[in-house]
Every structure is written in structure tokens, then in C-alpha cells.
Amino acid sequence: MIEKKPKYTKQSVNRKILESRILRSAEIVFASKGFSGASMERIAEISKISKQNLIYYFPNKDLLYRKVLEEILDIWIEKLSFLENHGDTPEEVIRSYVREKMQISRLYPNGSKVFAHEIISGAPVLKDYLISHLKPQFDRDVALVNSWINKGLIEKTDPEHLFFTIWAATQTYADFSTQIEVLLGKSDLTEPDFERAEKAVTDFVVRALGAHNKK
């Protein structure tokens, strides 16, 4: 055989599948109970394996928690570089950005909640990451918005706080979904709800920036 060490043996494939199943289960439990409230037993239960088998794959809770955080951060980074959002006009860039963020809230609500718990708790695990990775990107994005302002493409706006507002407004549909469901009188948020929310938030931001009536 050509390949000395076959990469996709039955075992290794199964392993990957099981690992991601575990990560999804862990995400659910961390999202709903936070780090301390999540038990390995419960995560194993949802993964439909024994606790000891869970520990075989993820030898301790800390590591598992970090892996879950890593996963969601990878997704965010991949989809959320403001500068790289296609669009020529500020309005296009903004609309695309808000849409991405809303879709992430829709597709990865549990990841978002885990992140939220982590930050609210003072980011004991993620603080270094925020400093080393998020801040530089943030500074670049702020610079871009400033350039828009200087060119008169959007209303004069506090760029830092613009981002805080956009993040908060979009993530709330994942993090505070329970509250939103109650207030909308629905048992859960479905696709149409998210579409409406997306339109509301996007229009809101675009209007606040006056990005629509400037060329």
C-alpha cells in the first residue's frame, strides 16, 4: 500500500465524529449551566457515552471547556473580519456584517452563550485571547470606520461604541433568546423571526449611520 499511515481509517473517522458529538453536547451543557454548573456526567449522558469514556477523549473538564470556546472563536474569526466583508459602500459592508453576526447567533446560539458566560464571569480563560487577537482586529476595524467618517460617507459616530452596539444587538438574539421568546410570545425563535430581527437591526444601524443617504 502506498500510504504508510492512512489518515482516514475507520477508527480515526469515528473518532472525529464522536469528538465533535461530544463537543456539541458540551456546548449545550456549558451554555445552559456555565462552567461550574456543567458536569462531566451530564455531558457524557447527552453524548450517549459513559463518563469514563468521555474522560478518555477529553481527559479533564478544563480542556473540554477550552476546546468548546476554541471552536466558537474559530467560527467568529473566520466570518467576522469587518475589513474583509465584501461590499464597496459602507452601507453594503455594514449590512453584510450585521447579517453575518445575526446568522452566527442563529446557527451557533450555544457557542454564543458559552462565550457570554465566560465574558460575564470576567473572561478568566479568554482574557489573553481578547488582548492578543480581538483587540488588534478591533483597532483596524475602528480605523476603517473612522476613514468613512473622514470621507463623509457616514454620520459622525463613535466607532468603538458602534461596534459594541452592533455586537450587543446581534448577540442578544442568541444569548437572551429566552427573554425574547417570552416577550414575542413564542416558544422558540424560528427562521422568520430571525429574518425580521435581521432586517430591524440592519435598518436600525444603517439609519443611525446615515449610510443610506450618502454616497
Partner DNA sequence: TAGTTTTTATACCAAATGGTAAAAAATAAA
Partner DNA sequence: TTTATTTTTTACCATTTGGTATAAAAACTA
CB of 69 to DNA, least distance (A): 16
- Residue type for position 65: Y
CA distance 210 to 89: 12
Stretch (H or E) spanning 186: none
52 binds DNA (CB under 7 A): yes
121 binds DNA (CB under 7 A): no
Which of DNA, a copy of itself, none interacts with 207 (beta carbon under 5 to 8 A by kind)? a copy of itself
| Cell numbers placing 202 | 440592519
Which of DNA, a copy of itself, none interacts with 61 (beta carbon under 5 to 8 A by kind)? DNA
The stretch near DNA (CB under 7 A) out of 1-9, 76-84, 152-160, 201-209 is: 1-9
Residues of this chain that bind a copy of itself (CB under 8 A): 31-37, 113, 116-117, 119-123, 127, 130-131, 134-135, 138, 155, 157-158, 160-165, 167-169, 171-173, 175-176, 178-180, 182-185, 196-197, 199-201, 203-205, 207-208, 210
CA distance 126 to 114: 11
Q: How many helices (H) and strands (E) does the chain have?
A: 11, 0
Which of a copy of itself, DNA, none interacts with 74 (beta carbon under 5 to 8 A by kind)? none
Closest by CA position to 104, among listed 75, 133, 81: 75
Could you tell me what percentage of the chain is helix, strand and coil, using 3-state DSSP and rounding each to the nearest 5? 75, 0, 25
| Residue 53-92 contact track with DNA, rule CB under 7 A, x = bound | x-xxx-xxxx------------------------------
- List alpha helices for 38-134, DSSP H: 40-47, 51-57, 61-79, 90-107, 109-120, 127-129
Contact footprint for DNA (CB under 7 A): 5-6, 9-12, 14-15, 18, 38-41, 49-53, 55-57, 59-62
